[in-house]
Structure 1
């Protein structure tokens, strides 16, 4: 039985993946700067910007999941992402490990129509340019044959336990739990894809365990068709026993808020995803693995059940 190592073990996607690994009796190593202990898993302290520490963390692994999230700041991204991807590529080659890189969809930029794995990289943001660069580096390594790797892409996500860094979590479920009106960025009348985190965790494991999946880009499961913001809020309201009214946050308010909040300032360039239809297609994965994504109804119901159990802070 091989060792499954998670780089970025304290994040949302790691939280979705670990139970899947446990259910399949896999050996698990959790790596971060301050890894939280999990029963039955090994913890390993490392900084992914340190080449020496990454090599030590990856040594002996069969599968390495790169799930790291770094500070949401373009200067940090430009400085650290190229270093991280190079460290992890070289460490995986040295260990003869398969790399599963959890990626986003920033590199595609504004796309008219569904986004598939064949969609070219035309980033329309500074962060998208960084992500296109590291994805291209990884794909060149995959093509050269020196690295066994998989790129698994997702968009913004929602699910039980997902609060921070999730627009539906922060704007919809958290507000409803507090008895407030749900909020939505810019345009609640266009379709907007999301990934349900339990599906993402299962899909990452399925890809990791399938040798024929290596050398490819895969979009993680997302329901087709996507809901509009108003539809999402209405469905959440049903299960949260809340109002289905939506307070729209227009672009100009976000611009002003960015003057006071560094995260909103950094998020601003990504808001084309909220202004226009944003449709993420995962039919390649669904067909290859005979996988049916969790329905909007069921995913939102499960998420609402989790939120209703949380204390109102």
Structure 2
């Protein structure tokens, strides 16, 4: 007869507490110190410079010719981007077409307009009247029914709009093409199996999915176009930049005029950036699990996060 003995349970060992040591980032503090010093130097320069006359900057900022130039700048930006968007979509569809003539024509257009400077194209459209004195409507190589003088038909504003818009169409074509090709081909095949035509598939299935790829670079192109319009001052069009140059030449306040004009461009680009952010956020629906925070939500999150960290640090 054997007697079974129960083995004693092993002694539990309590693990030692982990002493976590925060990783030090000396490079960050050096960068913060450098940025702080540079910011302080810049603020000191703005406050003590004898060249910056802030009262003059305020007067130039709201001057009548500056406001008029601002309106032309905004008009050029809107019209040029409208031409660029419409033309870019057409060129992208032509580029992806199976018709070799349409595809080659689109490639040739993009090659020419992307390969020449915008300033050269501005001069070209402005002086095209020397090559084509009259513009008419009629039968090709036949009689002409109505004719106009080119310089009367195409003024400075129209020439600038055509140059900027047609140039933008070449860049937008590549952006739209990249967005269309980013959509899986199975989407097109599924749409065709449901009986949708090629145009219906492109408009209802492909483009809505491609917009999340198209919108961010298109927004950058819009902001870039706002600043590119300053080149029209080279053909004596009174835009925002030209208005500032004229005031600087009359009053000899070059730096205040440049600062006032720069403030207008910064204000406009900031407004555009906020608007484009919400457009991009709208088309991001379905692509991400959660929509990105708005700027106001980021501010609230950072403020509340810092407050909570402070409270937690005080109670430990």
TM-score (norm 1): 0.20
User: Whose strand proportion is higher, 1 or 2?
Assistant: 1
User: Whose helix proportion is higher, 1 or 2?
Assistant: 2
Q: Which has the higher contact order (CA 8 A, sep 6+)?
A: 2
TM-score (norm 2): 0.20
> Which structure has the larger Rg over C-alpha atoms?
2
